[in-house]
Structure 1
């Protein structure tokens, strides 16, 4: 089984920050680095692309529909950090994501 990456600061688009994440199947998790409060999590067939959708236009891209999540991340950018875990298949990512939902409470638990 794969292991979580280390926690990394979410990149600031104003500073041309860089995102490090799997381009394939995986799961991501965000937290507040100051309080350690868990913010949100999710799975994707392209984790890097999905993480980019957490920022509002014109900084982010993708098809994420939750403006509340995007605004939360953007307004708290300096305190946000993320980690990722890669999987070989979508089924593995889905199973792991479901286990996160049962184990932890996040601000956005969907």
Structure 2
């Protein structure tokens, strides 16, 4: 199990303690495994075959699509919600609408 020590979001953190509890996994030490200070180093460790990491699908979408990484479990943890926001009165501008449409298409494809 690969750990990310420098992660501060989302809250609660998506860590192996939460994952094991949610998946009903017992008999493993959720503290075992290599530790990295940020998500991208942890992802590189997973690509290098050093273990399994809990990370946002957004960060690994390309690696998953390329077959460099696989999702070995169907179990996932809920994360933060992100909202598209702009100044009042700008929501009908063509560039804002285009960006919003692109983001919705991108996110729904993940």
Whichever of the two has the greater Rg, that structure is 2
TM-score higher than 0.5 here?
no
User: Relative CO higher for 1 or 2, CA cutoff 8 Å, sep ≥ 6?
Assistant: 1
Higher strand share: 1
Structure with the largest fraction of helix:
2
TM-score (normalizing by structure 1): 0.29
